[in-house]
A and B are shown apart, each in its own frame.
Chain A
């Protein structure tokens, strides 16, 4: 039924119909604005990024900068095409360390977090250690890993664990403690035992917080792997970066940096996807997935 039909049928409703029609056009306008807004939101960053690259390219040619100081983007791209096999190998190695380390960190953080949240005794025993551990500048002690664990993959993995588990631990503890006391009382009035309270109330209540921790940690994982490789590896993007800088192959270093960044971007979107899949009900996610209109 269109607004015009309504007008024809009932004279008294004319006014209302006109108002309806104007509301509709307004909505249409809003929708249009929304569209151009979205196009704007996509076009502008892209244009900005491309413009920046172009300026960089021009600047390198204009000032005739040597490539060991600042390679042109085209040169970096060329290196990436030429050495794609090598870069891919290093990427796989680094990503593997990041994934394995991250998974271990998740397991440690969740179980330790659950223990701390459940028992004040465990918390008091562990608390001081965790604070000390967190206070130690990990990047600075990274070289010690070489001494303790030796050269190779395991060092990178351990460094990833060390780098990523803390945010997840803190958020797990906070999340498990954040369950609404009234909600727990209600569940208890229904006859729920401790286990059911944990499973049906505490864990779901904790999820948004836990996932916030996971999101922070997951982006730190590739970083941890790269720093681990700086000091204790002869493979991986971190090693490649250090090597190429050492031998003044700056374009290769830029290529490695680009790949590390791509890995970081990828893990971020992976985390977002994971968030949407696990807590679609959370206020931060509402209306983002297509399933609930």
Chain B
């Protein structure tokens, strides 16, 4: 089922009399329960597109429809993870995760139970009563993921969630995210600058051009799941990674 349909979406930012055409027009549709990854050069409008998908920003042209309905002021039932973990220093880890439930006015009891379960699943269960500054970067990002998953979102938006982490932690988080997604079966849209990460995590990769970003290539990834880190060395994996890299080279983003 085509859950999200993006039709001719554009975004122009205006400030101080100057206009920046940041994005589009882009057209694509996203299938339910699939992970779609967007890759593209810096400043091409990926974050802008993600915000528009979540109803957090309005397109200047075109529209996004969710299950047939045009998106208005906000989209209900989404989870968002940004590059920065954005944990609140004045709350402990558990209460940080529970923020998602509080914002929706849900009762604390069941939410806390689920929060504990999620934190444990993500490997930070022992830190529920600590404060954010007592955790490492990787641990903090795990908490941010738990917070995004707390209210069982149907759509997960991930804007470079692992960019601030070291290579090893990044790989760990990729495996973790894959596991979480397999149990939760949420539709996900991921932005990343890492080609291997894109191939590893997604069912489909959209390659975008430089600003204003348009879609250059739409690559289906049929590698079997669950995927292992070792699969990155296999020829099928390498072939897809190469196709993305070539696309960047052709558009002049990468030069050999």
Contact = CB atoms under 8 A, between A and B. Distances in A.
A182 B82 contact: yes
A282 B90 CA distance: 7
Nearest to A193: B103
Contact of B104 (A182, A191, A279, A281): A191
Interface in A180-227: 180, 182-183, 185-192, 196, 200-201, 204, 207
A279 B51 CA distance: 32
Interface stretch (B7-15, B73-81, B179-187, B234-242): B73-81
Contacts of B131: 281, 292
Given A180-B86, A204-B90, A279-B90, A190 B51 contact: no
A185 B56 contact: yes
A19 interface: no
A186 B56 CA distance: 9
Contact of A190 (B84, B90, B99): B99
Contacts of A189: 54, 56, 74, 78-80, 157
B100 interface: yes
A187 B80 CA distance: 10
B233 interface: no
Contact of B89 (A182, A192, A200, A281): A281
A186 B86 contact: yes
B68 to A, nearest CB: 21
Contacts of A292: 131
A286 interface: yes
Interface string B197-216: 00000000000000000000
B80 A186 contact: yes
B102 A200 contact: yes
A187 B90 contact: no
Contacts of B56: 185, 188-189
A191 B74 contact: yes
Contacts of A200: 99, 102-103
| Interface range for B | 20 to 34
Contacts of A191: 74, 76, 103-104
A179 to B, nearest CB: 11
A108 B94 CA distance: 36
Given A182-B82, A191-B76, A204 B104 contact: no
B133 interface: yes
B86 A188 contact: no
A147 to B, nearest CB: 47
A204 B99 CA distance: 13
B164 interface: no
10 contacts: A183-B86, A185-B51, A189-B54, A190-B99, A190-B151, A191-B103, A191-B104, A200-B99, A282-B90, A283-B89
Given A191-B103, A196-B102, 14 more contacts: A182-B84, A185-B80, A186-B82, A187-B99, A188-B56, A189-B54, A190-B99, A190-B151, A191-B74, A200-B99, A207-B90, A281-B89, A281-B131, A282-B90
Interface of B: 51, 54, 56, 74, 76, 78-80, 82, 84, 86, 88-91, 99-100, 102-104, 131, 133, 151, 157
